[in-house]
Structure 1
Amino acid sequence: MFEGRPDRGAEIVFVGRSNVGKSTLMREFTGHTFTTGKKPGVTRSPNHYDWAGADFTFTDLPGFGFMEGVDEEAREAIKDDIVRYIEDHSEEILVGVLVVDGKAVIDIIDRHESRGEIPHDVEMFHFLREVGIPTVVAVNKMDKVEERDDRLDALCDRLGLPGPWQQWRDTIAPISAKRGQTAPLREALETQLREQHRDDLLQFI
């Protein structure tokens, strides 16, 4: 069970598979360097970043799914902890940011579905929404993707959102965290916060 959450009443969480760039994205938003690495599964407990005097925190949850050198039992335990954390703090979580690898996500989803499995990314997207958390999908590494619109339309299809993707700009945000290209995500988060009358938090976005 994760421990050490700051005593904050408002939170934005970043969740996604290992090695999709969540920690890099957190650095873009906070200016603070978090532990990152090429080896999946470096982040095993949440990274929180909060501000003195502000009732708000960003949280980078551990990566889920396949991790080289991590057995299935440990992977399932991490995923269970992530689900429990989100359930326990659903009232405080204003937005859930599901980070996916724009280059690989369609192949990963299709591979799982061809085996009769529910893909983790799809499952997490619907879980966040089912517990009442507004969800933005940050489609990272888009600088490596050709035919961007086709790829984003395909992702919407897999998530059950009728295309074209452009009508979901408050939900689908194509970005490249490593290159600092995060404007679509910032705009989507601003929209979500304004809808919840939390303009006081826009300064952190």
Structure 2
Amino acid sequence: MFETRPDRDAEVALVGRSNVGKSTLMRELTGHDKFDTGGKPGVTREPNHYDWAPEDFVITDLPGFGFMSGVHEEYREEIKTNIVRYLEAYAEHILVAILVLDGKSAVDIIDRHSGPDEIPYDVEMYHFLQDLGIPTVVAVNKMDKVDDRDERLDDICDRLGLYPPWQQWQDVVAPITAKNGQIDPLNEAVRTHLHEEGRDDLFKFF
């Protein structure tokens, strides 16, 4: 179990596969560059917490799940189990979860791992967050590398069980390019959920 979480009542948590740009997004959201990013999957092994004590608020970047080159499968499963336990333990404090996908590869990865005995991690995580009652925004990152933008976003909605077109899910699906600072759709979606939770005071972070 990850034991490093500051004792804060309100939290926004970033989840997603390794190498989808969670740490880059975390840097963009917080304006701080202390978060490791790298071309190698699995750079983040422990949660990164960015703590705003006066607001009783923390943003957490959880480790990536799924395939990581050079990382033993047993260890990958342990990380995934820890992420699940963390989300279960703090579900009532998490105002919004941001599930980060790689816009370029998400559909292919989901389809590759879909079968009678297999649920893709991303789809499983999305539904798990729904089951926990955590409002979830799907941040579809790296959109600068995507040519067929609307089609790709519709496909992602379809895989998550959201009826296309994607435009009707703007509080759920947010196309972004974190490394270029293009995250306005995400901020708008997160604010929608913060407002519903009565936390407009946190808008200044998004």
| TM-score higher than 0.5 | yes
Q: CA deviation at 1:116?
A: 3.9
Quote the residue 2:175 is aligned against: 174
For structure 1, list consecutive stretches of 5 or more residues without a partner in the other structure: none
Verify: 1:141 aligned to 2:146, yes or no: no
SS in 1 for 2:112: helix
Q: How far, CA to CA, are the matches of 2:164 and 2:200 in structure 1?
A: 29
The match for 2:161 is: 160
> What does residue 9 of structure 1 align with?
9
Q: Shift in Å at residue 26 of structure 1? A: 0.5
Task: Output the amino acid matched with 2:24.
Answer: T
Partner of 1:127: 128
In 2, distance between residues paired with 1:110 and 1:47?
30
Question: Residue type of the partner of 1:18?
Answer: S
The aligned counterpart of 2:76 is: 75
Q: Is the 8 A contact 2:137 2:190 kept in 1?
A: yes
SS in 2 for 1:106: helix
State how 1:17-28 maps to structure 2 within 5 Å.
17-28=17-28
Report SS of the residue matched to 1:124.
Answer: helix
Corresponding position of 1:109:
110
CA RMSD, Structure 1 to Structure 2 (Å): 0.9
- CA deviation after TM superposition for structure 1 residue 115, in Å: 7.1
Q: Which residue of 1 aligns with 2:45?
A: 44
CA contact (8 A) 2:8 2:53 kept: no
Q: How many residues align?
A: 205
1:96 aligns with 2:129: no
For residues 67 and 155 of structure 1, what CA distance do their matches in structure 2 show? 22
Q: Distance in 2 between matches of 1:54 and 1:165?
A: 33
Q: Distance in 1 between matches of 2:168 and 2:27?
A: 28
Please list the CA deviations of residues 61-109 of structure 1 after superposition, one character each: whole Å capped at 9, or x if unmatched: 0000000000110000000000000000001000000000000000000
- The ranges of structure 1 where at least 4 consecutive aligned residues each deviate by more than 6 angstroms after the TM superposition are none
- TM-score, length-scaled by structure 1: 0.98
Amino acid at match of 1:40: P
What residue number does 1:185 align with?
186
Alpha-carbon distance between aligned partners in 2 of 1:195 and 1:93, rounded to the nearest angstrom = 13
CA distance in structure 2 between the partners assigned to 1:114 and 1:75 by the alignment:
21
Task: Tell me how far apart the structure 1 counterparts of residues 127 and 93 of structure 2 sit (CA, whole Å).
Answer: 18
